[in-house]
Structure 1
Amino acid sequence: MLLIRWAVLAFSMWIATLIVPGITVDGGVGTYLWVALLFGLINSIFGSIIKVLTFPVSIVTFGLFLFVVNAAMLSLTARWSEKLEVTGFWSALLASLIISVITTLFKSTKKLK
């Protein structure tokens, strides 16, 4: 199951690079898998801590601030990976929205079965 979620994350990043100007991944399938792995690790470690610390802001904004946190985690991933390039906050925010929608749709279709 973990491998499927990893593949879905890599797929959602690929879709984000197709749609969002300013987000590029230099490489093929293996590179997307690597970037997805790095993003997943960064998001699970640092993202979890930041989400706990910004919980009051998330409540006030009805959870919309979580997209900002995800955009920051995507930008951090781009800093730590030579293969991912994010050129601005708005590109990171739009890409994080796309990634979130695709991964959420995958999770919801899995629950329907």
Structure 2
Amino acid sequence: MGILIRILVTALAALLTQYILPGVSIDSFTTALLVAIVLGLLNLIVKPVLVILTLPVTVVTLGLFLLVINALIVMWAGSLVKGFKVDNFWWALLFSVVLSIISSIMLSLGPGTDKD
């Protein structure tokens, strides 16, 4: 059940993010669900490989290169999901940051987030 909630929250956060960023467009809620699923799969499968391959650069940049990896994954998702358009790298970078912030806030407001 937790993964379904996370996918729904990510889809809603993606829809909210597209209203904030003019360089990103998502056609519908169904497209947002597909974006959430594709981003989840890319983060699960591709991101760990990219992190390992770029570890020296990531260490030198004190972890900031991870933002570049996130932006590249968003751009890749944009090329895979019809109806999800990211204008350029910088919009993808902003999208990944804003999406992370919004989904973190939404997940923290949900039930079961108490640490007690």
Bin the TM-score by the shorter chain.
0.7 to 0.9
Counterparts of 2:65 and 2:87 in 1: how far apart (Å)? Answer: 20
Give the aligned length. 112
Q: Does 2:15 align with 1:10?
A: no
Distance 2:62 2:80 in 1: 30
Over aligned residues, Cα RMSD in angstroms? 1.9
Change (3 A) 1:88 1:6: same
Which residue number corresponds to residue 22 of structure 1?
Answer: 23
Q: TM-score, normalised by structure 2?
A: 0.84
Q: Distance in 1 between matches of 2:57 and 2:104?
A: 22
User: In 2, are the aligned partners of 1:71 and 1:92 still within 8 Å (CA)?
Assistant: yes
Tell me which amino acid in the other structure corresponds to 1:79: S
Unaligned 5+ runs, structure 1: none
- Residue of structure 2 equivalent to 1:90: 90
Question: Where in structure 2 are the equivalents of 1:42-61 lying within 5 Å?
Answer: 42-61=42-61
Q: Counterparts of 1:108 and 1:58 in 2: how far apart (Å)?
A: 28
In structure 2, the partner of 1:38 is 38
* Aligned partners of 1:35 and 1:83 also within 8 Å: no
Helix, strand or coil for the counterpart of 2:63?
A: coil
Deviates more, 1:36-45 or 1:58-67: 58-67
Relative to the length of structure 1, the TM-score reads 0.86
Identity, % of aligned pairs? 36
User: 8 Å contact 1:39–1:77 — kept in the other structure?
Assistant: yes
Query: Residues 75 and 86 of structure 2 are in contact (CA less than 8 Å); yes or no, is this contact kept in structure 1?
Result: yes
Q: Which deviations, in whole Å up to 9, do the C-alpha atoms of 1:38-97 show, x marking residues without a partner?
A: 111122111121112112222222222111111100000011111100111111010011
Deviates more, 1:102-111 or 1:82-91: 102-111
Runs of 5+ consecutive residues of structure 2 not aligned to the other structure: none
> Displaced runs of 4+ in structure 1, greater than 6 A?
none
